[in-house]
């Protein structure tokens, strides 16, 4: 199965699950409050499958899996016979209507907790946030952070794994300083350092948040020793052998694999002189990287070798796994962290601390769904929780076309003692739809530009 088809199928499965959860929240609370639900639809357009339950609700699975809706009996939409008015949404109290509207996003948050609960029950392989080295002249270097320190808190928020620290650091974008609590792995002593982030520049498309601060995490190192050679490749034809260590290229010393890869990539069909260490002797080998056209249309040089990689440092890699009760607490904590980060990022988009060019749309989501589904169930569950939280947060935004907009109108109704006029609501819906379409357009443009 091709990558694009796999991503699409994974996207449809993920979106279908999340939409069903969201709409079921509206559906369940509506019924509990005595509202007649006329239709529960997953998707739009032509119905592929439909059936009715004993209470008269029509359930539909439609052809276009890009959303869903719950259609309730409402006098503002359909004529309602006098004997059925008590079943109409608009005849319920403001608090009942608010509960029905809020139930959709709430269902997404509850679903995220349940998914993460299952994920932590199964066990998540992760790594401790151990700082192995510091980039000279970086923000971390200026703060005087030594190596072999484990980050245990960010701005007084405790964290035990790399993913949690990563989310906490991203949440600090736009702040003038970040407080880190560290534990020395040798002496076990604790210390607190403050990073000066007034001039912090972070581009998530080009680097990790740790690299942007100069924090080099403990992880396997990619060596300049050759682990494998592709048959009939440039390296094979030049006579390179497994375990050869590349010391220099054209008399320029090679310090790491990334440096070597950069030179090879930019030297297609150009003869290069490699100084290699083979057993007890050093040899000069001339190799000409093969010209290959990459997916982006640019040409690049390829040597045809795979580097050796060291083992994980002791004690860094571990499995987060909890019993049924503790897993609930971990799921709640992780969901809260994702929720807080989502709201924080929306605020930073408004203030300009985060650029709209980092918005992601359906293509990026589909790629994420496909990638995590390929890795395994645990990774896919983590992805579902993340998107579910984002769906809940986005729907709470006070845009009239979203659940948050409806809640805003109902809150005004509570304050004023009467509903907001239909004309005002219509203007708000058009304005909200315009903003939403504009953001979706930007996100889609960003997706396409990343291909």
Q: Which residues pair with 293 in a beta bridge?
A: 299
3-state secondary structure of 245: strand
Contact 120, 135 (CB under 8 A): no
The rounded distance, in Å, linking the Cα atoms of 346 and 359 is: 10
DSSP character at residue 296? T
Measured at the alpha carbon of residue 201, what is the angle toward residues 196 and 203, in degrees to the nearest 5? 140
The rounded distance, in Å, linking the Cα atoms of 15 and 49 is: 18
| In 33-152, alpha helices (H) | 94-122, 139-142
The rounded distance, in Å, linking the Cα atoms of 161 and 123 is: 13
Query: Which residues have CB under 8 Å from 129's CB, separation 6+?
Result: 150, 151, 159, 161, 162, 165, 217
Q: What are phi and psi of 123, to 5 degrees?
A: 105, 135
The rounded distance, in Å, linking the Cα atoms of 96 and 185 is: 55
The rounded distance, in Å, linking the Cα atoms of 88 and 100 is: 12
Range list of β-strands (E), 197-296:
215-217, 222-229, 245-249, 252-253, 272-278, 281-287, 290-293
β-strand pairing of 252-253 with 245-249: antiparallel
Q: Which two tokens stand for residue 289?
A: 């990287």
What are the residue numbers of the active site?
Answer: 23
DSSP character at residue 359? -
The rounded distance, in Å, linking the Cα atoms of 35 and 97 is: 10
Q: Which two tokens stand for residue 277?
A: 């260490």
Contact 196, 214 (CB under 8 A): no
The rounded distance, in Å, linking the Cα atoms of 255 and 246 is: 9
């Amino acid at each position: 199965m091709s990558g694009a088809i796999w991503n699409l199928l994974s996207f449809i499965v993920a979106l279908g699950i999340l939409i069903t959860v969201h709409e079921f929240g509206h559906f369940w609370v509506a019924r509990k409050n005595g509202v007649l639900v006329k239709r529960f639809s997953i998707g739009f357009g032509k119905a592929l499958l439909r059936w009715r339950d004993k209470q008269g609700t029509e359930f539909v699975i439609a052809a276009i899996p890009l959303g869903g809706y719950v259609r309730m009996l409402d006098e503002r939409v359909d004529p309602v016979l006098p004997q059925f008015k008590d079943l109409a949404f608009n005849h319920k109290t403001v608090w009942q209507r608010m509960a029905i509207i809020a139930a959709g996003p709430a269902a997404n948050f509850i679903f995220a907790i349940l998914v993460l609960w299952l994920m932590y029950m199964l066990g998540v392989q992760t790594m401790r946030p151990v700082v192995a080295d510091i980039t000279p002249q970086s923000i971390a270097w200026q703060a005087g952070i030594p190596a072999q320190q484990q980050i245990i808190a960010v701005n007084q928020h405790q964290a035990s794994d790399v993913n949690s620290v990563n989310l906490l650091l991203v949440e600090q974008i736009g702040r003038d300083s970040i407080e880190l609590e560290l534990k020395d792995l040798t002496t076990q002593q604790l210390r607190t350092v403050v990073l000066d982030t007034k001039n912090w520049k972070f581009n998530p498309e080009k680097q990790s948040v740790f690299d942007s601060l100069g924090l080099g995490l403990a992880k396997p190192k990619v060596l300049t020793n050759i682990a494998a050679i592709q048959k009939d490749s440039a390296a094979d034809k030049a006579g390179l052998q497994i375990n050869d260590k590349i010391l220099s290229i054209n008399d320029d010393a090679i310090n790491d694999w990334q440096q070597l890869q950069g030179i090879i990539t930019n030297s297609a069909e150009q003869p290069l002189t490699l100084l290699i260490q083979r057993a007890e002797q050093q040899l000069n080998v001339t190799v000409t990287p093969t010209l290959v056209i990459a997916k982006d249309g640019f040409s690049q040089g390829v040597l045809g070798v795979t580097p050796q990689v060291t083992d994980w440092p002791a004690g860094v890699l571990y499995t987060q796994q909890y019993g049924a009760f503790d897993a609930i607490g971990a799921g709640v904590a992780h969901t809260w962290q994702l929720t807080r980060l989502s709201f924080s990022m929306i605020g930073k988009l408004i203030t300009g601390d985060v650029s709209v060019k980092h918005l992601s749309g359906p293509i990026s989501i589909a790629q994420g769904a496909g990638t995590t589904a390929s890795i395994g169930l645990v990774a896919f569950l983590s992805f579902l929780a993340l998107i579910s939280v984002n769906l809940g947060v986005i729907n709470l935004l006070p845009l009239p076309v979203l659940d948050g907009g409806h809640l805003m109108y109902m809150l005004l109704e509570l304050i004023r003692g009467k509903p907001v006029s239909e004309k005002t609501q219509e203007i708000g819906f058009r304005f909200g739809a315009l903003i939403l379409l504009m953001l979706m357009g930007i996100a889609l443009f960003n997706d396409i530009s990343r291909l």
